[in-house]
Homo-oligomer: A and B are copies of this chain.
Amino acid sequence: MIYFDNAATGGYKPKKSIEAAIYAMNNLRANAGRSGHKLSIEAEKIIYSARKTLCDFFGADDPSKIIFTHNCTAALNAAIFGKFKDGDHVITTVTEHNSVLRPLYELKRRNTIELTIVEPKTDRIMFEDIMPHIKKNTAGVIVNAVSNVTGQKNDFEEIGKKLYGSNICFIVDGAQAAGHVPINISKQNIDVLCVAGHKGLLSVQGVGALILGKDVNLSPTVFGGTGIDTFNENMPADYPERLEAGTLNLPSINSLLWGIKHLQSEINKISYSMLCMTENIIKSLKNIEFLKVFSNSNESGIISFSHDYYSSQELSGILNDRYDIAVRGGFHCAPLMHKFLKTDKDGLVRVSLSVNNNKKEISSLIYALNEISKI
């Protein structure tokens, strides 16, 4: 099977990221930060090393403010429910995934927050789209670094720059961007960055992370054992324990550590390769009759398109059944983006690349789409 669904779960993992998970499963069956014995301490060292590596990779200040969750959705929930309080106003965008929208809708249903959702005037969210909506009680701006539907990067760097020094908490959903687009929370003035391990960060499934800026505090949203401060009825005040309850997933965290180590030397190469591949694919797709392309070339390797005669589900079904090519059809959990693009009836076919995809696979895709379009 040719796998072009890397934005759902990355199909390419460096050998060491898999080996790291297997090593932990075979040799480190212990609970980090709970016991004082050799295995538990070795587990804890790996987890600290992962925190330190993520901290450096994303330009954070303090390894203890790298919080591990089990996916990016859990990280976004921790950020959104942990940050906003009664009477807060929050601004977000139509480019968001349901992992941002649904927590915000829930806070709105509870009458906790007032919510403004902005559209881009151009092909991306710019600070100009957000600025007119900022009010006295605006406590947060949440922006998708990259649309998971089109691969388009929002101008989060400029938004961070303009919000810097304000009391507004700037939260970035890095699910699709991390590992493709350089993100440095200190330089880009991001207060909270949420990432998934199993996509661009090249780990196996089962880990996500919150990367917190030095002045950011979140209230706990998950409560439980922390291995320390047992007699405290609340979660410990200190990070990371404040936001991490229960047993951490060592194999996935070790895998993420090695995924990031791989990226430290490879990210520029990966970004460039993605840019070239998306450019080539888009060029070819534009020559195919009945196809309409919704993406510009991008570093995240996402290309979405519709077909005049097939719904996105039908077309992705044909690619799977007849050509053994995996893409994703439908709405990609991003309802407002589809409304904005006017694709909320049939959705879009999304081709999403890894650095491991090659010219032959891309030719097969283009060949298949050409053939399907000869109706």
Contacts and interface: CB of A to CB of B under 8 A. Distances in A.
Contact of A252 (B18, B206, B223, B234): B206
A328 interface: yes
A222 B74 contact: yes
Contacts of A189: none
A230 B316 contact: no
A333 B105 contact: no
Nearest to A227: B333
The bracket for how many chain A residues form the interface is 35 or more
A320 B99 CA distance: 44
Interface in A25-59: 25-26, 29-31, 34-40
Interface in A202-249: 204-208, 220, 222-227, 230-231, 233-235, 245-249
Best-buried of A102, A106, A231 by chain B (most CB within 10 Å): A102
B70 A233 contact: no
Interface of A is mostly: loop
A238 B101 CA distance: 19
Given A70-B74, A247-B198, A8 B34 contact: yes
Interface of A: 1, 3, 5, 8-13, 18, 21-22, 25-26, 29-31, 34-40, 69-74, 76-77, 97-99, 101-103, 105-106, 109, 196, 198, 204-208, 220, 222-227, 230-231, 233-235, 245-252, 313, 316-317, 319-320, 324-335, 338, 344
